[in-house]
Amino acid sequence: MHAFQKSLTLPQPEQALPGRSAVMPVPSQHFVLGHTLLPPFPESTEQAVFGLGCFWGAEKSFWQLPGVYSTAVGYSAGYTANPTYDEVCTGKTGHNEVVLVIYHPRQVTYSDLLTHFWESHDPTQGMRQGNDTGTQYRSAIYTHSEMQLMQAQESLQRYQQALNAAHFNAITTEVCPAKDFYYAEEYHQQYLAKNPQGYCGLGGIGLAFPAE
């Protein structure tokens, strides 16, 4: 997917594409779960944002988890306002392909989501994931509270210890407070439900997250 995208260096803010004020139109409902794709979400839910390679497969892996209310794919952690997919593919927006996860914390905890995140991709590959190369495919956890940030950092340390013991490379995952989330185009939302034979390069390294 997108073999032409080879940028491995994030742009500086002044180098980024300007973007636009117009918000990307997206469907009102999740194609699979039937719940709202847009805020406001139920007060009983919380949100999380993860980057783990091509967002098609990432989103599918999360919407299948019990307790997940809704998911959406989009762009985050860059500089360009309301970017298009083609702009993100140039590497000149600074954005990452991410999945927004809206979840019921009494049914699936943030810790559960972190475990799923670590086990679903290779977090040691820097600016790529599998055959997908470029800054938009970097591994990342973008947090929405001090508690999420603390849990994410702690989980990284625990998984790194497991990786060290199994002689894997160092984790390159970006862990930081979330910036603006920009929805991706309509056709990207729940793409693998609409196109069951579509591309998905997502895959873990076969190492379980260590139990407490």
Burial class of 201 by CB neighbour count within 10 A (0 to 12, 13 to 18, 19+)? middle
Residue that has been written with the tokens 């943030």 in this structure? 110
Q: Considering 54, 89, 176, 200, which one is annotated as catalytic?
A: 54
Quote the distance between the C-alpha of residue 118 and its chain's center.
12
**Among this protein's residues, is 200 annotated catalytic?**
no
To which H or E segment does residue 159 belong? helix 146-165
- Identify the CA nearest to 181 among candidates 105, 70, 90, 104: 70
Altogether, the residues listed in the chain come to a count of: 212
Query: Which residues form the catalytic set?
Result: 54
